[in-house]
Copies of this chain bind each other. A is one copy, B any other.
């Protein structure tokens, strides 16, 4: 009998489902369009049916032992989705208990960054580590903090919001309603804002002016940096400086063995890792200097979030 966990990654656009074994092998890959479900009830029903039917197709040698879900604002303590602004259902949704009605195995929920941290610990770059931080660089900046082998959830289940540490008082407007949050500078969206500001200085040439400014995104900035574009390279440098300073402060908190970068922007690791590390070391308290590694994720990008969600269940064993 091969034990299988269903890993579910709920995103604003796509919801990905996988059936994962203990070695991180994924046997099925299902994609639902999150926005097509008018209510959370319909969505959960579809999820459950998709899992059960995929499991059936594997045959009698495979047994489901748990369901792990990663979702924006997923709260591990109460199993609720709490006001996730990018999902179609705005109210607080008891997602774990709604899913539990379809299954007689444990159902676990956490936010996507915490799931990423579990994924790295069970299957990826943090194997054998007990103190580390995973930072997901995508549209925003998420973080999953692991202390002594356990994700830090905090008193209310919402710990690990490094994206909303204020790094520039009075700085850029953030979706959270405040100003100067780390993710307004360090994220795919953040670096795009930085480049847009830089392009206002018409004296500097840049290939990034070739396309309409509305189509500018972090992928184009990455490509331009690869070709040596001055503005793109400078934007990565500015981003890494803010990121490095912020990580130096973060290290003073939990003294991790490593900081692992994942997510879309982290794919541009050759412009991020060394430079961020240098700025971090510049600002680090002496006792922490040259101790903390910055590493790229070791999970395959297309199933990283599924592995992370599945790891929620494997972790408990």
Q: Are A159 and B257 in contact (CB under 8 A)?
A: no
List B contacts of A178 (CB < 8 A): 283, 285
Given the known A-B contacts A154-B131, A154-B147, are A253 and B283 also in contact in the complex, defined by CB atoms under 8 Å?
no
Q: Which of A128-171 contact B (CB under 8 A)?
A: 130-132, 145, 147-148, 150, 152-162, 164-166, 169
Of B83, B130, B249, B286, the residue contacting A177 (CB under 8 A) is B286
A245 within 8 A of B: yes
Given the known A-B contacts A177-B286, A286-B176, are A253 and B155 also in contact in the complex, defined by CB atoms under 8 Å?
no
Q: Are A154 and B255 in contact (CB under 8 A)?
A: yes
List B contacts of A154 (CB < 8 A): 131, 147, 254-256
The distance in angstroms between the C-alpha atoms of A283 and B169, with both chains bound, is: 10
Q: Are B255 and A253 in contact (CB under 8 A)?
A: no
List B contacts of A131 (CB < 8 A): 154-155, 159
Given the known A-B contacts A154-B147, A155-B130, A286-B177, are A164 and B252 also in contact in the complex, defined by CB atoms under 8 Å?
yes
A97 within 8 A of B: no
The distance in angstroms between the C-alpha atoms of A153 and B256, with both chains bound, is: 9
Tell me the nearest residue of chain B to A257, going by C-beta.
B155
A287 within 8 A of B: yes
Given the known A-B contacts A82-B287, A156-B291, A177-B286, are A161 and B252 also in contact in the complex, defined by CB atoms under 8 Å?
yes
A interface, how many residues as a size bin? 35 or more
The distance in angstroms between the C-alpha atoms of A50 and B166, with both chains bound, is: 49
A267 within 8 A of B: no
The distance in angstroms between the C-alpha atoms of A164 and B152, with both chains bound, is: 22
A37 within 8 A of B: no
Binary B-proximity of A80-94 (CB < 8 A = 1, otherwise 0): 001100000000000
Q: Are A159 and B255 in contact (CB under 8 A)?
A: yes
Of B156, B169, B255, B285, the residue contacting A155 (CB under 8 A) is B255
The distance in angstroms between the C-alpha atoms of A249 and B178, with both chains bound, is: 12
The distance in angstroms between the C-alpha atoms of A249 and B152, with both chains bound, is: 15
A248 within 8 A of B: yes
16 new A-B pairs (CB below 8 Å) besides A83-B287, A159-B254, A166-B248? A130-B155, A131-B154, A131-B159, A147-B148, A147-B150, A147-B159, A148-B153, A154-B254, A154-B255, A155-B256, A156-B255, A158-B255, A161-B288, A164-B285, A165-B252, A178-B283
A-B contact pairs, 26 of them (CB 8 A): A83-B287, A130-B155, A131-B159, A132-B155, A145-B253, A147-B152, A148-B152, A152-B253, A152-B255, A154-B255, A156-B255, A156-B287, A158-B255, A158-B287, A160-B252, A161-B253, A161-B288, A162-B252, A164-B285, A165-B252, A165-B253, A169-B245, A176-B285, A177-B286, A249-B249, A250-B253
